Structure 1
Amino acid sequence: MTAYTPLGGIPYPEPADPANVPQHLQSLAEAVDARTILRYSTAAARDAAITTPAPGMVAWLAGPGQLTHYNGTAWLPVAAVPVFAQNNDAGSTASTTPVELLASASTDPLAAVFTVPPTGRVIVTVGAWINSSVAAHAFMGATVRRVSDGWVSAASTAERACAVYGTARVAASSQSMLVGLTPGVAYSATATYWTAGSSSSSNTATYSNRFIRVDPLL
Protein backbone atom coordinates (compact mmCIF):
# COMPACT_ATOMS: atom_id res chain seq x y z
CA MET A 1 0.00 0.00 0.00
CA THR A 2 1.50 3.31 -1.08
CA ALA A 3 2.05 5.92 1.64
CA TYR A 4 2.15 9.70 1.22
CA THR A 5 4.16 12.48 2.82
CA PRO A 6 2.07 14.55 5.27
CA LEU A 7 2.68 17.99 3.71
CA GLY A 8 3.07 17.63 -0.05
CA GLY A 9 1.31 14.29 -0.53
CA ILE A 10 4.34 12.79 -2.31
CA PRO A 11 3.95 9.00 -2.72
CA TYR A 12 6.53 6.52 -1.41
CA PRO A 13 6.50 2.71 -1.09
CA GLU A 14 6.05 0.86 2.18
CA PRO A 15 7.98 -2.30 3.08
CA ALA A 16 5.04 -4.54 2.18
CA ASP A 17 4.65 -3.09 -1.33
CA PRO A 18 5.80 -5.10 -4.38
CA ALA A 19 9.45 -4.47 -5.24
CA ASN A 20 8.75 -2.58 -8.47
CA VAL A 21 11.41 0.12 -8.43
CA PRO A 22 10.62 1.65 -11.87
CA GLN A 23 6.96 2.05 -10.96
CA HIS A 24 7.75 3.62 -7.60
CA LEU A 25 10.23 6.02 -9.19
CA GLN A 26 7.70 6.97 -11.87
CA SER A 27 5.01 7.71 -9.27
CA LEU A 28 7.46 9.83 -7.29
CA ALA A 29 8.70 11.70 -10.39
CA GLU A 30 5.17 12.46 -11.60
CA ALA A 31 4.13 13.76 -8.18
CA VAL A 32 7.20 15.98 -7.86
CA ASP A 33 6.98 17.19 -11.48
CA ALA A 34 3.79 19.15 -10.87
CA ARG A 35 5.19 20.76 -7.73
CA THR A 36 8.40 22.18 -9.21
CA ILE A 37 8.79 25.48 -11.11
CA LEU A 38 7.92 24.45 -14.65
CA ARG A 39 9.65 26.14 -17.59
CA TYR A 40 8.17 27.04 -21.00
CA SER A 41 9.04 29.34 -23.88
CA THR A 42 5.68 31.15 -23.97
CA ALA A 43 2.27 31.20 -22.31
CA ALA A 44 0.87 29.27 -25.29
CA ALA A 45 3.45 26.49 -24.79
CA ARG A 46 2.59 26.36 -21.07
CA ASP A 47 -1.14 26.13 -21.73
CA ALA A 48 -0.64 23.41 -24.35
CA ALA A 49 1.44 21.31 -21.92
CA ILE A 50 -0.69 21.89 -18.81
CA THR A 51 -4.27 21.26 -19.93
CA THR A 52 -5.68 20.87 -16.40
CA PRO A 53 -3.62 23.12 -14.11
CA ALA A 54 -4.01 22.78 -10.35
CA PRO A 55 -4.13 25.77 -7.99
CA GLY A 56 -0.65 26.62 -6.77
CA MET A 57 1.23 25.51 -9.89
CA VAL A 58 4.14 27.79 -10.83
CA ALA A 59 5.60 28.20 -14.32
CA TRP A 60 8.41 30.32 -15.74
CA LEU A 61 7.89 31.86 -19.21
CA ALA A 62 11.05 32.64 -21.17
CA GLY A 63 9.02 35.14 -23.20
CA PRO A 64 8.47 37.68 -21.66
CA GLY A 65 10.71 36.49 -18.79
CA GLN A 66 7.98 36.15 -16.20
CA LEU A 67 7.13 33.87 -13.28
CA THR A 68 3.44 32.92 -13.25
CA HIS A 69 1.17 30.96 -10.92
CA TYR A 70 -2.27 29.36 -11.30
CA ASN A 71 -4.80 30.67 -8.78
CA GLY A 72 -7.53 28.18 -9.61
CA THR A 73 -9.06 30.34 -12.33
CA ALA A 74 -6.24 31.88 -14.39
CA TRP A 75 -2.47 32.07 -14.78
CA LEU A 76 -1.25 35.32 -13.20
CA PRO A 77 2.15 36.93 -12.61
CA VAL A 78 3.66 35.96 -9.26
CA ALA A 79 4.51 39.63 -8.70
CA ALA A 80 3.45 42.88 -10.28
CA VAL A 81 5.68 43.64 -13.26
CA PRO A 82 5.80 47.21 -14.64
CA VAL A 83 5.79 47.51 -18.43
CA PHE A 84 7.60 50.40 -20.12
CA ALA A 85 7.76 51.51 -23.77
CA GLN A 86 9.34 54.58 -25.32
CA ASN A 87 9.87 56.27 -28.68
CA ASN A 88 12.43 59.04 -29.09
CA ASP A 89 11.25 59.99 -32.59
CA ALA A 90 9.70 63.43 -32.88
CA GLY A 91 6.33 63.67 -34.57
CA SER A 92 3.36 65.98 -34.87
CA THR A 93 -0.39 66.06 -35.37
CA ALA A 94 -3.06 68.65 -36.08
CA SER A 95 -5.91 66.28 -35.19
CA THR A 96 -8.46 67.55 -32.69
CA THR A 97 -9.44 63.96 -31.79
CA PRO A 98 -7.09 61.32 -30.31
CA VAL A 99 -4.84 59.60 -32.87
CA GLU A 100 -2.18 56.91 -32.35
CA LEU A 101 0.12 57.83 -35.26
CA LEU A 102 2.24 60.98 -35.51
CA ALA A 103 3.47 62.46 -38.76
CA SER A 104 7.22 62.00 -39.38
CA ALA A 105 7.56 59.47 -36.52
CA SER A 106 8.51 55.84 -37.05
CA THR A 107 7.62 52.66 -35.13
CA ASP A 108 4.28 54.06 -34.00
CA PRO A 109 1.94 53.28 -32.38
CA LEU A 110 3.64 53.46 -29.00
CA ALA A 111 2.08 50.72 -26.85
CA ALA A 112 2.73 48.75 -23.67
CA VAL A 113 1.22 45.27 -23.35
CA PHE A 114 0.55 44.09 -19.80
CA THR A 115 -1.18 41.33 -17.84
CA VAL A 116 -3.78 42.49 -15.31
CA PRO A 117 -2.98 41.57 -11.67
CA PRO A 118 -5.52 39.87 -9.34
CA THR A 119 -6.76 43.27 -8.11
CA GLY A 120 -7.85 44.35 -11.61
CA ARG A 121 -6.09 47.70 -11.06
CA VAL A 122 -3.18 49.36 -12.88
CA ILE A 123 -1.60 52.80 -13.08
CA VAL A 124 -0.99 54.15 -16.58
CA THR A 125 1.63 56.89 -17.01
CA VAL A 126 2.24 58.83 -20.24
CA GLY A 127 4.74 61.59 -20.93
CA ALA A 128 6.77 63.48 -23.54
CA TRP A 129 8.36 66.76 -24.52
CA ILE A 130 5.43 68.69 -26.03
CA ASN A 131 4.80 72.06 -27.66
CA SER A 132 2.15 73.72 -29.83
CA SER A 133 2.51 75.86 -32.93
CA VAL A 134 0.08 78.46 -31.51
CA ALA A 135 -1.20 79.44 -28.08
CA ALA A 136 -3.35 76.34 -27.63
CA HIS A 137 -3.42 73.00 -25.83
CA ALA A 138 -1.66 69.79 -26.89
CA PHE A 139 -2.64 66.52 -25.22
CA MET A 140 -1.10 63.06 -24.78
CA GLY A 141 -3.24 60.27 -23.39
CA ALA A 142 -3.72 56.51 -23.69
CA THR A 143 -6.33 54.08 -24.96
CA VAL A 144 -6.50 50.74 -23.13
CA ARG A 145 -7.74 47.70 -25.05
CA ARG A 146 -8.13 43.99 -24.42
CA VAL A 147 -5.55 42.26 -26.62
CA SER A 148 -7.71 39.24 -27.53
CA ASP A 149 -10.48 41.17 -29.30
CA GLY A 150 -9.51 44.86 -29.27
CA TRP A 151 -12.35 45.82 -26.91
CA VAL A 152 -11.71 49.31 -25.51
CA SER A 153 -11.89 49.35 -21.71
CA ALA A 154 -10.67 52.96 -21.33
CA ALA A 155 -10.74 55.49 -24.16
CA SER A 156 -8.50 58.56 -24.30
CA THR A 157 -9.87 61.54 -22.42
CA ALA A 158 -8.48 64.93 -21.42
CA GLU A 159 -9.03 63.98 -17.78
CA ARG A 160 -6.48 61.15 -18.10
CA ALA A 161 -4.02 63.00 -20.35
CA CYS A 162 -1.06 65.29 -19.85
CA ALA A 163 -1.49 68.70 -21.45
CA VAL A 164 0.77 71.57 -22.49
CA TYR A 165 -0.40 75.06 -23.43
CA GLY A 166 1.61 77.33 -25.70
CA THR A 167 4.60 77.25 -28.03
CA ALA A 168 7.31 76.61 -25.41
CA ARG A 169 8.67 73.06 -25.38
CA VAL A 170 7.75 71.49 -22.04
CA ALA A 171 8.28 68.06 -20.46
CA ALA A 172 4.91 66.80 -19.22
CA SER A 173 3.48 63.57 -17.81
CA SER A 174 0.28 62.29 -16.29
CA GLN A 175 -0.81 59.27 -14.23
CA SER A 176 -4.23 57.66 -13.96
CA MET A 177 -5.51 54.54 -12.21
CA LEU A 178 -7.74 52.09 -14.03
CA VAL A 179 -9.94 49.67 -12.09
CA GLY A 180 -12.24 46.80 -13.01
CA LEU A 181 -9.94 45.15 -15.56
CA THR A 182 -10.13 41.35 -15.87
CA PRO A 183 -7.37 39.65 -13.81
CA GLY A 184 -4.99 37.46 -15.78
CA VAL A 185 -6.00 38.95 -19.13
CA ALA A 186 -3.60 40.75 -21.48
CA TYR A 187 -4.34 44.40 -22.32
CA SER A 188 -2.49 47.06 -24.28
CA ALA A 189 -2.13 50.74 -23.40
CA THR A 190 -1.51 52.77 -26.56
CA ALA A 191 -0.40 56.41 -26.53
CA THR A 192 -2.68 58.96 -28.21
CA TYR A 193 -2.22 62.57 -29.26
CA TRP A 194 -4.51 65.48 -30.12
CA THR A 195 -4.74 69.26 -30.13
CA ALA A 196 -7.13 72.06 -29.28
CA GLY A 197 -6.80 74.87 -31.80
CA SER A 198 -7.56 78.50 -31.08
CA SER A 199 -10.68 80.19 -32.38
CA SER A 200 -8.75 81.85 -35.21
CA SER A 201 -6.24 79.21 -36.31
CA SER A 202 -5.47 75.53 -36.22
CA ASN A 203 -2.79 74.07 -34.00
CA THR A 204 -0.03 71.59 -34.76
CA ALA A 205 1.26 69.78 -31.68
CA THR A 206 4.77 68.29 -31.66
CA TYR A 207 5.95 65.45 -29.41
CA SER A 208 9.35 63.90 -28.74
CA ASN A 209 10.93 61.56 -26.18
CA ARG A 210 7.57 59.88 -25.66
CA PHE A 211 6.95 57.11 -23.16
CA ILE A 212 4.17 55.03 -21.67
CA ARG A 213 4.37 52.90 -18.52
CA VAL A 214 1.90 50.53 -16.85
CA ASP A 215 2.28 49.55 -13.17
CA PRO A 216 0.07 46.70 -11.91
CA LEU A 217 -1.27 47.24 -8.39
CA LEU A 218 -1.36 44.28 -6.02
Structure 2
Amino acid sequence: MTAYTPLNALPYPQPTDTADLPLHLQSLAEAIDGRTVLRYATAAARDAAITTPVAGMVAWLTTPGQLTHYTGTVWSPVAPVPVFKANNDAGTTASTTAVEILADSATTAVTAAFTAPPSGQAIVTLGAYMYSSAAYGSYMSATVYKASDKSVFLASSADRAVVVNSVNRSSCSTQFLVTGLTPGTVYNAVPCFWSANSANTATFDTMFIRVDPVM
Protein backbone atom coordinates (compact mmCIF):
# COMPACT_ATOMS: atom_id res chain seq x y z
CA MET A 1 0.00 0.00 0.00
CA THR A 2 1.43 3.40 -1.01
CA ALA A 3 2.74 5.52 1.88
CA TYR A 4 3.04 9.31 2.05
CA THR A 5 5.63 11.69 3.47
CA PRO A 6 4.48 13.47 6.65
CA LEU A 7 4.94 17.07 5.50
CA ASN A 8 3.94 17.26 1.84
CA ALA A 9 2.08 13.97 1.47
CA LEU A 10 4.34 12.84 -1.39
CA PRO A 11 3.70 9.21 -2.34
CA TYR A 12 6.30 6.48 -2.19
CA PRO A 13 5.89 2.72 -2.72
CA GLN A 14 6.05 0.01 -0.09
CA PRO A 15 7.72 -3.39 -0.50
CA THR A 16 4.31 -4.98 -0.87
CA ASP A 17 3.26 -2.69 -3.77
CA THR A 18 3.25 -3.86 -7.37
CA ALA A 19 6.70 -3.55 -8.91
CA ASP A 20 5.80 -0.84 -11.42
CA LEU A 21 8.57 1.76 -11.35
CA PRO A 22 7.14 4.02 -14.13
CA LEU A 23 3.78 4.19 -12.31
CA HIS A 24 5.41 5.04 -8.97
CA LEU A 25 7.59 7.71 -10.58
CA GLN A 26 4.56 9.17 -12.35
CA SER A 27 2.65 9.36 -9.04
CA LEU A 28 5.58 11.11 -7.37
CA ALA A 29 6.11 13.52 -10.29
CA GLU A 30 2.43 14.48 -10.37
CA ALA A 31 2.41 15.08 -6.62
CA ILE A 32 5.50 17.31 -6.86
CA ASP A 33 4.31 19.15 -9.97
CA GLY A 34 1.81 21.39 -8.20
CA ARG A 35 4.28 22.19 -5.42
CA THR A 36 6.98 23.69 -7.63
CA VAL A 37 7.15 27.28 -8.87
CA LEU A 38 5.03 27.01 -12.01
CA ARG A 39 5.90 29.17 -15.04
CA TYR A 40 3.49 30.74 -17.53
CA ALA A 41 3.60 33.52 -20.09
CA THR A 42 0.52 35.32 -18.77
CA ALA A 43 -2.23 35.06 -16.17
CA ALA A 44 -4.58 33.79 -18.88
CA ALA A 45 -2.17 30.96 -19.73
CA ARG A 46 -1.86 30.09 -16.04
CA ASP A 47 -5.63 30.01 -15.55
CA ALA A 48 -6.11 27.87 -18.64
CA ALA A 49 -3.55 25.32 -17.42
CA ILE A 50 -4.59 25.27 -13.75
CA THR A 51 -8.35 24.84 -13.77
CA THR A 52 -8.60 23.73 -10.13
CA PRO A 53 -5.89 25.60 -8.21
CA VAL A 54 -5.08 24.67 -4.63
CA ALA A 55 -4.25 27.15 -1.87
CA GLY A 56 -0.48 27.63 -1.66
CA MET A 57 0.29 27.11 -5.36
CA VAL A 58 2.92 29.50 -6.71
CA ALA A 59 3.21 30.63 -10.35
CA TRP A 60 5.59 32.97 -12.14
CA LEU A 61 4.11 35.12 -14.92
CA THR A 62 6.54 36.26 -17.61
CA THR A 63 4.18 39.16 -18.34
CA PRO A 64 4.14 41.31 -16.25
CA GLY A 65 7.16 39.65 -14.57
CA GLN A 66 5.38 38.75 -11.35
CA LEU A 67 5.35 35.93 -8.80
CA THR A 68 1.79 34.99 -7.82
CA HIS A 69 0.25 32.61 -5.31
CA TYR A 70 -3.21 31.12 -4.90
CA THR A 71 -4.85 32.22 -1.65
CA GLY A 72 -7.62 29.64 -1.81
CA THR A 73 -9.88 32.19 -3.46
CA VAL A 74 -7.85 34.15 -6.02
CA TRP A 75 -4.40 34.39 -7.57
CA SER A 76 -2.55 37.30 -5.99
CA PRO A 77 0.99 38.76 -6.10
CA VAL A 78 3.26 37.15 -3.53
CA ALA A 79 4.23 40.63 -2.32
CA PRO A 80 2.97 44.15 -3.05
CA VAL A 81 4.37 45.35 -6.35
CA PRO A 82 4.47 49.16 -6.67
CA VAL A 83 3.84 50.43 -10.18
CA PHE A 84 5.35 53.74 -11.29
CA LYS A 85 4.75 55.54 -14.60
CA ALA A 86 5.90 58.99 -15.70
CA ASN A 87 5.60 61.38 -18.63
CA ASN A 88 8.26 64.08 -18.95
CA ASP A 89 6.48 65.92 -21.76
CA ALA A 90 4.65 69.14 -20.88
CA GLY A 91 1.04 69.63 -21.95
CA THR A 92 -1.89 71.97 -21.48
CA THR A 93 -5.66 71.97 -21.31
CA ALA A 94 -8.45 74.52 -20.92
CA SER A 95 -11.10 71.80 -20.69
CA THR A 96 -13.41 72.04 -17.70
CA THR A 97 -14.03 68.28 -17.82
CA ALA A 98 -11.35 65.69 -17.14
CA VAL A 99 -9.14 64.69 -20.08
CA GLU A 100 -6.40 62.06 -20.21
CA ILE A 101 -4.50 63.48 -23.19
CA LEU A 102 -3.05 66.99 -23.00
CA ALA A 103 -2.59 69.37 -25.90
CA ASP A 104 1.05 69.83 -26.99
CA SER A 105 2.04 66.54 -25.31
CA ALA A 106 3.96 64.14 -27.53
CA THR A 107 2.92 60.97 -25.70
CA THR A 108 -0.29 59.10 -24.97
CA ALA A 109 -1.94 58.80 -21.58
CA VAL A 110 0.17 57.37 -18.78
CA THR A 111 -1.34 54.10 -17.52
CA ALA A 112 -0.33 52.33 -14.31
CA ALA A 113 -1.61 48.74 -14.53
CA PHE A 114 -1.78 46.87 -11.22
CA THR A 115 -3.29 43.73 -9.73
CA ALA A 116 -5.57 44.18 -6.73
CA PRO A 117 -4.18 42.42 -3.62
CA PRO A 118 -6.25 40.26 -1.22
CA SER A 119 -7.08 43.36 0.84
CA GLY A 120 -8.81 44.96 -2.16
CA GLN A 121 -6.99 48.22 -1.43
CA ALA A 122 -4.31 50.30 -3.14
CA ILE A 123 -2.72 53.69 -2.57
CA VAL A 124 -2.55 55.99 -5.60
CA THR A 125 0.01 58.80 -5.63
CA LEU A 126 0.24 61.34 -8.46
CA GLY A 127 1.76 64.70 -9.16
CA ALA A 128 3.41 67.08 -11.60
CA TYR A 129 4.93 70.51 -12.11
CA MET A 130 1.81 72.65 -12.55
CA TYR A 131 0.69 76.23 -13.06
CA SER A 132 -2.32 78.23 -14.23
CA SER A 133 -2.44 81.03 -16.78
CA ALA A 134 -5.02 82.87 -14.65
CA ALA A 135 -6.34 82.84 -11.11
CA TYR A 136 -8.36 79.64 -11.58
CA GLY A 137 -7.72 76.13 -10.38
CA SER A 138 -5.76 73.60 -12.41
CA TYR A 139 -6.60 70.03 -11.42
CA MET A 140 -4.84 66.67 -11.75
CA SER A 141 -6.59 63.53 -10.51
CA ALA A 142 -6.81 59.89 -11.64
CA THR A 143 -9.45 57.52 -12.96
CA VAL A 144 -9.27 53.82 -12.08
CA TYR A 145 -10.57 51.44 -14.74
CA LYS A 146 -11.18 47.70 -14.67
CA ALA A 147 -8.71 46.49 -17.31
CA SER A 148 -10.81 43.64 -18.72
CA ASP A 149 -13.71 45.77 -19.96
CA LYS A 150 -12.37 49.33 -19.46
CA SER A 151 -15.29 50.15 -17.17
CA VAL A 152 -14.76 52.97 -14.67
CA PHE A 153 -14.23 51.68 -11.14
CA LEU A 154 -13.41 55.05 -9.57
CA ALA A 155 -13.90 58.31 -11.47
CA SER A 156 -11.56 61.28 -11.12
CA SER A 157 -12.70 63.85 -8.58
CA ALA A 158 -11.69 67.24 -7.23
CA ASP A 159 -11.72 65.57 -3.82
CA ARG A 160 -8.82 63.37 -4.97
CA ALA A 161 -6.91 65.93 -7.00
CA VAL A 162 -3.78 68.03 -6.98
CA VAL A 163 -4.95 71.66 -7.23
CA VAL A 164 -2.96 74.76 -8.21
CA ASN A 165 -4.44 78.20 -8.85
CA SER A 166 -1.22 80.13 -9.19
CA VAL A 167 0.63 81.41 -12.23
CA ASN A 168 3.83 80.31 -10.51
CA ARG A 169 5.18 76.88 -11.46
CA SER A 170 4.74 74.53 -8.50
CA SER A 171 5.76 70.95 -7.78
CA CYS A 172 2.65 69.25 -6.35
CA SER A 173 1.37 65.79 -5.49
CA THR A 174 -1.51 64.04 -3.76
CA GLN A 175 -2.28 60.58 -2.45
CA PHE A 176 -5.50 58.67 -1.85
CA LEU A 177 -6.67 55.20 -0.88
CA VAL A 178 -8.77 53.07 -3.25
CA THR A 179 -10.91 50.40 -1.57
CA GLY A 180 -13.35 47.73 -2.72
CA LEU A 181 -11.12 46.37 -5.50
CA THR A 182 -11.68 42.75 -6.49
CA PRO A 183 -8.62 40.73 -5.39
CA GLY A 184 -6.65 39.26 -8.29
CA THR A 185 -8.26 41.61 -10.83
CA VAL A 186 -6.15 43.90 -13.02
CA TYR A 187 -6.93 47.63 -12.96
CA ASN A 188 -5.54 50.66 -14.79
CA ALA A 189 -4.97 53.96 -13.00
CA VAL A 190 -4.78 56.85 -15.47
CA PRO A 191 -4.00 60.52 -14.64
CA CYS A 192 -6.48 63.09 -15.89
CA PHE A 193 -6.48 66.88 -16.04
CA TRP A 194 -8.87 69.83 -16.17
CA SER A 195 -9.29 73.53 -15.50
CA ALA A 196 -11.81 75.19 -13.20
CA ASN A 197 -12.57 77.73 -15.93
CA SER A 198 -12.20 77.68 -19.71
CA ALA A 199 -10.52 81.10 -19.46
CA ASN A 200 -7.59 79.37 -17.76
CA THR A 201 -4.94 77.28 -19.51
CA ALA A 202 -3.68 74.63 -17.11
CA THR A 203 -0.12 73.47 -17.72
CA PHE A 204 1.36 70.20 -16.50
CA ASP A 205 4.93 68.91 -16.81
CA THR A 206 6.81 65.82 -15.59
CA MET A 207 3.61 64.04 -14.58
CA PHE A 208 3.81 60.81 -12.62
CA ILE A 209 1.52 58.23 -11.06
CA ARG A 210 2.37 55.45 -8.62
CA VAL A 211 0.16 52.64 -7.31
CA ASP A 212 1.06 50.72 -4.14
CA PRO A 213 -1.14 47.66 -3.45
CA VAL A 214 -1.91 47.34 0.27
CA MET A 215 -1.49 43.84 1.68
Question: Per the shorter chain, which TM-score range?
Answer: over 0.9
Determine what percentage of the aligned residue pairs are the same residue.
60
Which residue matches 2:25? Answer: 25
SS across alignment from 2:8: coil
Which residue matches 2:141? Answer: 141
In structure 2, C-alpha distance between the alignment counterparts of 1:163 and 1:191, rounded to whole Å: 13
In structure 2, C-alpha distance between the alignment counterparts of 1:58 and 1:123, rounded to whole Å: 25
SS across alignment from 2:189: strand
- Structure 2, unpaired ranges of 5+: none
Residue type at the aligned position of 2:213: P
In structure 2, C-alpha distance between the alignment counterparts of 1:108 and 1:211, rounded to whole Å: 13
In structure 1, C-alpha distance between the alignment counterparts of 2:42 and 2:145, rounded to whole Å: 21
Cα deviation for residue 195 of structure 1 reads 0.7
Among candidates 207, 211, 214, match of residue 214 of structure 1: 211
Instruction: Give the count of matched residue pairs.
Output: 215
1:16 aligns to 2:16 (yes or no): yes
In structure 2, C-alpha distance between the alignment counterparts of 1:97 and 1:16, rounded to whole Å: 77
In structure 2, C-alpha distance between the alignment counterparts of 1:109 and 1:56, rounded to whole Å: 37
State the TM-score, normalizing by the size of structure 1: 0.96
Residue type at the aligned position of 2:91: G
Give 4+ residue runs of structure 1 displaced > 2 Å after superposition: none
Cα deviation for residue 141 of structure 1 reads 0.3
- Structure 1, unpaired ranges of 5+: none
- 1:136-156 C-alpha deviation (Å, 9 max, x unpaired): 211100001111122212111
Q: Give the CA RMSD over aligned residues.
A: 1.0
SS across alignment from 2:174: strand
Cα deviation for residue 107 of structure 1 reads 2.5
- 1:176-213 C-alpha deviation (Å, 9 max, x unpaired): 0011111111111110000112xxx7000111100011
In structure 2, C-alpha distance between the alignment counterparts of 1:23 and 1:75, rounded to whole Å: 32
Cα deviation for residue 50 of structure 1 reads 1.1
Residue type at the aligned position of 2:42: T
In structure 2, C-alpha distance between the alignment counterparts of 1:151 and 1:83, rounded to whole Å: 20
Which residue matches 1:189? Answer: 189
